[in-house]
Chain A
Amino acid sequence: MERRTFMKGTFALATIGLLNPVLFRHGLAAEDAIEMPYKELLDEYLGGKKSEDGSTIMSLNIPDAPENGAVVPVEVTINYPMTADNYIANITVLTTKNKANKALSFDLTPANGMAYLYVNVKMGQTQDVVILAKTNKGKIFQTSKNVRVALGGCG
C-alpha cells in the first residue's frame, strides 16, 4: 500500500471517530451498552402484524407500586389451551421506558402443559410492563400494566 493511500485512510477513520462520538464511544464491542427503544422491539416482535387485546385471557400479578425498581416480580398466567397443534409458543416481557427494554423471551412447547411465567424485572422509573404472547400460528396477544416505581433500579 502506498503511503498516501494509507494516510488518507487513517485520516478518514479518525474523522469518522471525531464526528461520530456515539459510534466512537459505544463502538461495536459486545460488552458495550446497547440502547433498545421499546418501539423498535415491539415492531420487531410484531413483524408488521397487529396484536390482539390479551387482557381477557391473560391474568397478570404485578404489584402496583413495588418498593424497589431493581426487583419487580412479574407473574403472568395465560388462559389458553396447550394442545399439540394450538399453543402459546412464546411469551416476551418488555418495559417501555428503560434504556434497554427487553427483559425476557420464553419459548414454550405443549410439554409445559400451561402458559405461565414468573420473572423479576428491573425498572428505572414509573412505566408500563408489556406482556406479548405469540401462538404457534402467529397470533399475537398484548397486554400491559402501569407500575409506579419510587426508587429506580438503575435500568
Chain B
Amino acid sequence: MELRGVVKILEQNYKVGDIVKAKIIVIHKMDTGFTKDKESGKQFPRFYMKEITATYNGQVVAHFDLDVATSQNPVIQFPLKVTGPGELVVDFVNSENEKAQKKVKLSPDA
C-alpha cells in the first residue's frame, strides 16, 4: 500500500525571518505488536511509521524518530525559520522500509 501523507505550512502570510509552523500528517497504522485480532486471536505484527526527515533548501531542519507510542495516523507540528523562497521536502520511512516523499513550496511575501 502506498504511504499517504500531507505537509502544510500553517501560516498563510509570512516574511523572510519569520518563524512558521509546519504540519505533517501521515495516514499510517501504529501497531504495537501487543494487540490481538478479536475474532481470530492472531497478533497484529509490529508495524509503524519509523522516521520522518524534513529538508529545507538542502538542509535537514527536523528529524523525527517515531515509535509505537505515537498515536495512529501521527500528526506532528514543528517550527521553521523562513530564510527565503524554497521547498520543504519531507521523507517518510516506515518499519517495512517503504518510502514516500512530500513537498511543499515556501513563498514568503516580499
Task: Please give the number of chain A residues whose Cβ is less than 8 angstroms from any Cβ of chain B in the complex.
Answer: 39
Chain B's closest residue to A29 (CB) is B45
User: Whole-angstrom distance between the alpha carbons of A14 and B12 in the complex?
Assistant: 63
- Let me know if A119 is at the binding interface, CB within 8 A: yes
Task: Please give the number of chain B residues whose Cβ is less than 8 angstroms from any Cβ of chain A in the complex.
Answer: 36
Q: Are B47 and A120 in contact (CB under 8 A)?
A: no
User: Whole-angstrom distance between the alpha carbons of A102 and B70 in the complex?
Assistant: 8
Q: Are B61 and A112 in contact (CB under 8 A)?
A: yes
B residues lining the A interface (CB < 8 Å): 19, 21, 30, 32-35, 43, 45-47, 56, 59-72, 74-81, 83, 95
List 26 A–B pairs whose Cβ atoms lie within 8 Å, in order of A's numbering. A32-B46, A72-B71, A100-B32, A102-B67, A104-B65, A104-B66, A104-B70, A105-B64, A105-B67, A106-B65, A106-B78, A111-B59, A111-B61, A112-B19, A112-B62, A113-B81, A114-B19, A116-B79, A118-B75, A118-B77, A121-B69, A121-B70, A121-B71, A122-B70, A122-B71, A155-B69
A residues lining the B interface (CB < 8 Å): 30-34, 36, 70-72, 75, 94-95, 98-109, 111-122, 153-155
